Amino acid sequence: MSGIQFDIAHLLAGGLVLISLLMLYQDRLTALINVFAAQAVALSLSVAWQAFVQDAPHLYITAVIALVFKGLIIPVALHRIIKRLGVHREIEQVVGIGPTMLAGVGLVALSLVVMLRVTKASDQLGREDLAFALSVVLLGLLMMITRRNAVGLVIGFMSLENGLVLAATGAKGMPLVVEISVAFSVLIAFIVIGVFLFRIRERFETVDVAALDRFRGERG
Amino acid sequence: MSGFTALDAVLLIPAVAAGVLALIPGYRLSAALNLMASLASLCVAISLLFIRPMGGNYLRVDDLSVVFIVLSTFVGFTTSVFSATYIAHEVEVGKLTPARLRFYHAMYQVLMFAMNLALIANNIGLMWVAIELATLTTVLMVAVYRTHEAIEAAWKYFILGSVGIALALFGTILVYVAARPVVGEGLAGMVWTTLVAKAGAFDPALLNLAFVFLMLGYGTKVGLVPLHAWLPDAHAEGPTPISAVLSGLLLNVALYAVLRFKMLLAANPGAVAPGPMMMAMGLLSLIFAAFMLYRRRDIKRMFAYSSIEHMGIIAFAFGMGGPLADFAGLLHMTMHSLTKSAIFFTVGHIAQVKGTQRIADIRGLTVTHPVLGWTLVAGVMAIAGLPPFGIFTSEFLVVSSTFARQPFLAIPLVLGLLIALGALLLHVQSLAFGEPSPGVAPSRASYLPMFGHLALVLAAGVFFPPLITHWFQHVARQLG
């Protein structure tokens, strides 16, 4: 792989990590959704670039799924959901922004240390891609922990999944990538529909996960 | 793959049945059809014992998976028998509408399809997709009653299950990355048989890291502590046939995935032994669940914790490895599946006649419903590991091989078993004996599935056929 191809792939994958960090400190849901859409676009570009570099046309399908489904449909749906829920102004954070960011930086450092050490045998691009992907996965997990709002939780999960797609496309020649990305899209669609349905049927006053805890089985 | 084989049939039957069941109104017909389809799957699975079709890059059956698939289709069949009477009652009392029922039956077959696919997949990517599908269908089935609690349980299961699934995928990708330099790019890097054959040359560091993710990911689905939080809720709030299938089958399927990757690591001399991690999580699950058993107020939730306990024992046995412990693990898994689903069949009918799942409101079952009551007593005795039932045999084997290999670990193991035994006996005493609580309506249970399961467990405890012993030993040797 020539220098410029490597640099572009590197830039796009690094961009995903950067956007993940951006998501960590968004304190409004609307902004959070927009940043997530930006990450989906960056992912789509990254996948498309990999498809071009690896000469693997089937990866373009994954790129299109990322762009249309996660970059467009899901954000629009989420914007509508939070308007209906009336939570589009604020976001609840369990931990403050400072500690969260520090933890996020720590996780990125951790994944770089772990991944670069265990993948010495692999090619340069592959190992850095994996390190970035693990960072995005861990940052997604961190986001799922720090957000109490169900929509924030869903976005955290989707950004985690972006990391997985990055890893899958970075692993050169991996089979079933398209199938797996479709399977994940189905999963995400179900989650979003689930959040949406709860509200329509007014099962809960709020989709705040803390409120769900009240119904914890051991009643009475 | 050439021609149509039993491998295709075992997938095609549930898939077609799911499609047909989605279209058929009327629960009698669909329940019967559900039963027929499950029986057909079972027959095909049994045929796999005798005629082993040639595998391809996607599907394959070997000595290990054939044990799982026969067990899986068998419990799937008996559960469909139980489900028919259980669902009839739910429809009568109006807890399920016809539309949801149609959905329920279709999902049941989709779940069977997904589990069969996961078990016969010869491709780690395909296996992952199948387990994801199984997770999705069980989430939908847990939520089928649409109560607050059911939706909350499903939501929790969904989020935790999805995170587990995601981590497992990352592990799968890492396995591929480790395999690529050796087996080359493309499909070969995910084909199970190729991976195992060439695992010795993989980068051990990468494999270790992959196993951590796979263990956490699929371990969530196995319900190992500390990743178990979804399990009690999902068991308690869904329809009881689903609790039986979850405990008896789905946990096994996830464990099967873990075992597969454990074999992969075992084939690589440089990789860290995966055993200690499984043993630690297994012991933790056992002891944690044993203590949790005491304070349960919900009967299905209590048996869900008992499932965590037993999955802990099984993970511990497989983690220790070696022919004897692996044999004990396989035996225990089989016995647990049979016993636990029998218990859930009984509990399902009990909850229906008593109209409650609260342990405090169910008393004196042996007086009001002698058959159900004594079946429950027998089931609890079996699951607690008392002789002469088969679980006693398998637990005895686990404990004795622990004494031989890791004497110090035998102390927490035996302690956990005894604590759980105490809790179960305490609860069953108040459930089965004493002053009867209201709810004396005769039950129209189908006793056949629960009697059948318990009879098998009893038979295994009294006399274990040498043929099956040989078979299990053979499989245990493969596990390494």
Q: What is the pLDDT of residues B26-42, one digit of tens each?
A: 778 888 999 999 999 99
Over range B115-128, report the average pLDDT. Answer: 92
Please give the pLDDT value at position B290: 94
Measured between beta carbons, the chain A residues lying within 8 angstroms of B237 are 217
Return the top range by mean pLDDT from B65-79, B261-275, B431-445: B65-79
Bridge partners (DSSP) listed for residue B298: B358
Please give the pLDDT value at position A121: 67
Q: For residue B166, what is the nearest residue in chain A, using CA coordinates?
A: A161
Half-sphere exposure at residue B110, Cβ-oriented, CA atoms within 13 angstroms: 21
Please give the pLDDT value at position B1: 41
State whether A172 and B185 contact (CB < 8 Å).
yes
Number of domains chain A is built from: 1
Half-sphere exposure at residue B386, Cβ-oriented, CA atoms within 13 angstroms: 12
Over range B348-377, report the average pLDDT. Answer: 88
How many angstroms separate the CA of residue B170 from the nearest CA in chain A?
Answer: 6
Decide if pLDDT at B147 tops 70.
yes
Please give the pLDDT value at position A1: 57
Q: What is the dihedral of CA A197, A202, A207, A208, to 10 degrees?
A: -160
The answer to whether residue A220 sits within a structural domain is no
Measured between beta carbons, the chain A residues lying within 8 angstroms of B170 are 133-134, 137, 163-164, 167
Lowest model confidence (mean pLDDT) among A72-76, B232-236, B464-468: B464-468
B404 and chain A in contact, CB less than 8 A: no
| 8 Å CB contact between A189 and A152 | no
Indicate the angle between helix axes A3-24 and A29-54, nearest 10 degrees: 160
Measured between beta carbons, the chain B residues lying within 8 angstroms of A191 are 158-159, 162
The answer to whether residue A91 sits within a structural domain is yes
pLDDT band of residue A198 (cuts 50, 70, 90) is low
Half-sphere exposure at residue A168, Cβ-oriented, CA atoms within 13 angstroms: 30
State whether A198 and B149 contact (CB < 8 Å).
no
In total, the C-beta contacts within 8 angstroms joining chain A to chain B are: 127
The answer to whether residue A55 sits within a structural domain is yes
pLDDT band of residue A201 (cuts 50, 70, 90) is very low
pLDDT band of residue A220 (cuts 50, 70, 90) is very low
Burial class (CB in 10 A: 0-12, 13-18, 19+), A150: buried
- Pick from B38, B50, B52: which is nearest to B10 by CA? B38
Please give the pLDDT value at position A202: 36
Amino acid identity for residue B290 in this structure: A
Burial class (CB in 10 A: 0-12, 13-18, 19+), B370: exposed
The answer to whether residue A150 sits within a structural domain is yes
What pTM value is reported for the model? Answer: 0.91
Q: Name which of B125, B203, B297 is nearest A180 (Cβ-Cβ).
A: B125
Q: What is the ipTM of this complex?
A: 0.89
Token duo for residue B12: 């095609």
Token duo for residue B204: 């051990």
The answer to whether residue A45 sits within a structural domain is yes
Q: How many whole angstroms from its chain centre is CA B309?
A: 13
B270 and chain A in contact, CB less than 8 A: no
More confident residue, B410 or A94: B410
Instruction: Give buried/exposed letters for B311-348 (b at 16+ CB in 10 A, else e).
Output: bbbbbbbbbbbbebbbbbbbbbbbbbbbbbbbbbbbbb
Measured distance between the N- and C-terminal CA atoms of chain B, rounded to whole angstroms: 29
Q: Name which of A118, A134, A194 is nearest B155 (Cβ-Cβ).
A: A194
Decide if pLDDT at A186 tops 80.
yes
The answer to whether residue A219 sits within a structural domain is no
Express as a percent the part of chain B with pLDDT over 70: 99
Range of the domain at A163: 3-213
Q: For residue B298, what is the nearest residue in chain A, using CA coordinates?
A: A218
pLDDT digits (tens, 9 = 90+) for A76-117: 988 888 887 776 666 666 677 888 899 999 999 999 998 888
How many angstroms separate the CA of residue B186 from the nearest CA in chain A?
Answer: 5
Decide if pLDDT at B246 tops 60.
yes
The answer to whether residue A218 sits within a structural domain is no
B149 and chain A in contact, CB less than 8 A: yes
Decide if pLDDT at A132 tops 60.
yes
